[in-house]
Amino acid sequence: MEKNKECFYCMKDERQTALMLKVADLSVSELFFFKEQTHPGRCLVAFKDHAKEIFDLSDADQAAYMTDIARAARAIQTVYQPAKINYGAYGDKLPHLHMHLVPKYEDQAGWGSVFEMNPGKVYLSDAEYTAQIEALNKAL
């Protein structure tokens, strides 16, 4: 599949690095850690090539992508122990296949409702980002 020059998941430029940090390459996707951490452990799994919809993928890539999502979610569960992980597939303004993995905690932000995309409230130090990414990699 071709890269889309308008897509920061394809171009891997400052638009992407301003929002998230790469955790790891998975089988057909990449795992990213959001810099904004109102929901501790919030990550995103982006398909490695430019695809707009999951049905654009071959059956094998669909299965592998869902396996990558499950693998990432299991790592989040291991590291953060949320009460629930919410999954969100959006892309109205950035049509590249990606899935938000949002750990939710009872009596914390957004419990019982849809998560806020970028509340801009909680950021970590560089050392904390490094430690979180290392923990997720270990759990993968």
Three-state DSSP state, 68: helix
Residue ranges making up the domain that contains 123: 8-139
Q: Is residue 76 part of a domain?
A: yes
- Domain holding 131: CATH number? 3.30.428.10
Domain annotation covers residue 2: no
Residue 129 lies in a domain: yes
Confirm whether 3 is domain-assigned.
no
Residue 122 lies in a domain: yes
| Interval 91-103: pLDDT, tens | 888 889 999 999 9
85: helix, coil or strand?
A: strand
* 1 has pLDDT over 60: no
Confidence of residue 2 (pLDDT cuts 50, 70, 90): low
Q: Tokens standing for 37?
A: 């951490």
**Domain count of the fold of the chain:** 1
> 19 in a domain, yes or no?
yes
- Reported as a single tens digit per residue, the pLDDT across 25-44 is 999 999 999 999 999 999 99
- Collapsed DSSP state (helix, strand, coil) of residue 3: coil
Q: How far apart are CA 23 and CA 135, in angstroms?
A: 10
